Amino acid sequence: MHKVIAAAIDSNILSASESFIDQCCTQNVEYAQTYDEKIYDVRAPPSKHLAIVCCMDARLDVFRMLGLKPGEAHVIRNGGGRIRDAVRSLVCSQTLLQTKEVMIIHHTDCGFTYFSNNDQVMTALKLQPGTEVGNLPIFQTIPGQVSATTTPDFMPIADLEQSIRDDLAEYKQYPMLNQNVTVRGFLYDTKTGLLKEVK
């Protein structure tokens, strides 16, 4: 937990005049000089018909990790790589763009493993100035379980392999998701770069 809080405090040190977004825009100009627009010639589903749900952790290079090229897969990212946060995008991926397989990937050294319970996440958030966490729809749990006293669920991860099993099980609770496709869960080891399937 201390690691996450320290990172949040460090990020507040940057001034507005040191915006990294400006550097990204400069790098975009360089990228555009060798850009191949042919990838957008045809509006098509991902060519490998694969959707990947994984963590937003900036260190994860999902395309290189899986040997993918642009246009081959949808990559849906959120904190912890949780299926609950990915449902809206995954529904569109499956129904509008014909993805037929789903990979759920969690990883070691995930920030959500630094918290053993939801209260610790809430405490860490309250330490940040201006943060208000209420009963917002985005934080509600599975449909049908919402009430006026619903506490936001940030889904801390106490056990990585169990969190993958939980997400595989939760996938089945959403009838709008295609239940007739292959859905598999994996743990990515940040020390070795290897995936381990979790069933």
Sheet hosting strand 73-78, strand order edge to edge: 73-78, 50-55, 101-107, 182-188, 195-198
CA dist 91 and 87 (Å) reads 6
* Residues annotated in a binding site: 55, 57, 107, 110
CA dist 122 and 156 (Å) reads 11
Range list of H helices, the chain: 2-11, 20-32, 62-66, 83-97, 118-126, 160-171
3-state SS class at 5:
helix
Spatial contact of 75 and 129, defined as CB atoms under 8 Å apart: no
* Residues annotated in a binding site for Zn(2+): 55, 57, 107, 110
